[in-house]
């Protein structure tokens, strides 16, 4: 299992370090792999708190370019340099707010892997796409368009996040999650054999009260958690749900 907290654009340095401290102190022995993704400007301070703990840290995005004249952007190498070990790429909020295309996301995945970061690649359909029956084909297209054509090695975890379930309190049904995760698993086996066994996370309004039934599904290897990752008790509750046999 892999439990990831996406802190998005929230909080102050003091709040971020306090949250990290509470997670370090509260993390049970034998917890699943746990990662947090603080805002970029909080990475250095959070990294100090996490030092020596099993919780690892990543960035929420990186540039597809290596370096140079890209005002405001952050390179994968800069994330690695500040102590990040992973990066979220292709989150639906980046696709929507910044118009990121699959081709750009593919460059970012390659940049992240090139810098030695573990990548959490997000895919997921909008409500209109689900209602028109296109959910699986949309996600398949995102996988095809955003994973490297020739896999360069390294670690990629897939996060299936239906856009309409993010931050809305609406969770996909267990049947929908199971069938999408099954499709992703099959697609990876056929098209990206290096990633055939990788974790496939679910994301979208995961909380302590619904985590256990989601984690019980066959191909669900953990969660990408937004809102509930900002409260240490909730995030630790989700981690506890992932430890249930
Ligand atoms: P949410 O966000 O848990 O607040 O729905 C999930 C995500 O965007 O990764």
* pLDDT tens over the chain, length 245 residues: 999 999 999 999 999 999 999 999 999 999 999 999 999 999 999 999 999 999 999 999 999 999 999 999 999 999 999 999 999 999 999 999 999 999 999 999 999 999 999 999 999 999 999 999 999 999 999 999 999 999 999 999 999 999 999 989 888 899 999 999 999 999 999 999 999 999 999 999 999 999 999 999 999 999 999 999 999 999 999 999 999 87
Q: Who contacts 215 (Cβ-Cβ below 8 Å, separation ≥6)?
A: 1, 222, 223, 241, 242, 244
Place of tokens 């937004």: 226
> Phi and psi dihedrals of 2, rounded to 5?
-140, 120
Query: Which pLDDT belongs to residue 245?
Result: 76
Q: Establish whether residue 226 lines the binding site of ligand 1, counting it when its CB lies within 6 angstroms of any ligand atom.
A: yes
Ligand 1 atom nearest residue 206's Cα: 3
Task: Give Cβ neighbours of residue 145 (< 8 Å, ≥ 6 apart).
Answer: 101, 102, 103, 105, 106
Distance (Å, whole) CA 146 – CA 112:
13
Nearest CA to 66 out of 122, 113, 127 is that of 113
Q: Which of 42, 91, 93, 181 is catalytic?
A: 91
48 carries an active-site annotation: no
pTM across the whole model: 0.97
CA dihedral 92, 112, 224, 238 (to 10 degrees): -160
Residue 107 to residue 102: CA distance in whole angstroms: 9
Q: How far is the CA of 208 from the centre of ligand 1 (A)?
A: 13
Give residue 29's region: left, alpha or beta (phi > 0; psi -120 to 50). beta
The H or E element spanning position 159 is: strand 156-160
Tell me, using a 6 A CB cutoff, whether residue 28 lines ligand 1: no
Q: Which domains does the chain have, with CATH numbers?
A: 2-63+73-242 (3.20.20.70)
pLDDT at 171: 85
Burial of 149 (0-12, 13-18, 19+ CB in 10 A): exposed
**Residue 244, pLDDT score:** 86
| Cβ-Cβ contacts under 8 Å for 233 (sequence gap 6 or more) | none
Helices (H), the chain: 13-26, 43-50, 76-81, 92-97, 102-114, 127-131, 135-146, 174-191, 208-215, 232-242
Question: Does the C-beta of 204 come closer than 6 Å to ligand 1?
Answer: yes
Nearest CA residue ID for atom 3, ligand 1 = 226
HSE, side-chain direction, 13 A CA sphere, residue 223: 33
Radius of gyration of the chain (CA): 17
Q: If you measure from the C-alpha of residue 68 to the centroid of ligand 1, how many angstroms do you get, rounded to a whole number?
A: 32
């Amino acid at each position: 299992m892999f439990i990831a907290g996406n802190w998005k654009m929230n909080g102050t340095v003091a709040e971020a370090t306090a949250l990290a401290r509470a997670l370090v102190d509260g993390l049970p022995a034998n917890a699943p792999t746990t990662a947090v993704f603080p805002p970029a400007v909080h990475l250095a301070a959070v990294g100090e708190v996490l030092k020596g703990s099993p919780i690892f840290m990543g960035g929420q995005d990186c540039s597809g370019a290596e370096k140079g004249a890209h005002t405001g952007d952050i390179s994968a190498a800069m994330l690695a340099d500040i102590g990040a070990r992973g990066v979220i790429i292709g989150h639906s909020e980046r696709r929507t707010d910044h118009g990121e295309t699959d081709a750009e996301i593919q460059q970012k995945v390659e940049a992240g892997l090139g810098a030695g970061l573990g990548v959490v690649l997000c895919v997921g359909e909008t409500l209109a796409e689900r209602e028109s029956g296109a959910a699986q084909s949309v996600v398949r297209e995102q996988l095809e368009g955003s994973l490297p054509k020739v896999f360069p090695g390294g670690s990629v975890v897939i996060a299936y996040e239906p856009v309409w379930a993010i931050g809305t309190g609406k969770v996909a049904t267990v049947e929908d999650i199971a069938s999408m995760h099954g499709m992703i698993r099959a697609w990876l086996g056929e098209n990206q054999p290096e990633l055939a066994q990788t974790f496939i996370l679910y994301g979208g309004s995961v909380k302590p009260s619904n985590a256990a039934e989601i984690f019980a599904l066959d191909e669900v290897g953990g969660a990408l958690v937004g809102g509930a990752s900002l409260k240490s008790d909730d995030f630790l509750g989700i981690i506890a749900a992932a430890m249930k046999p």
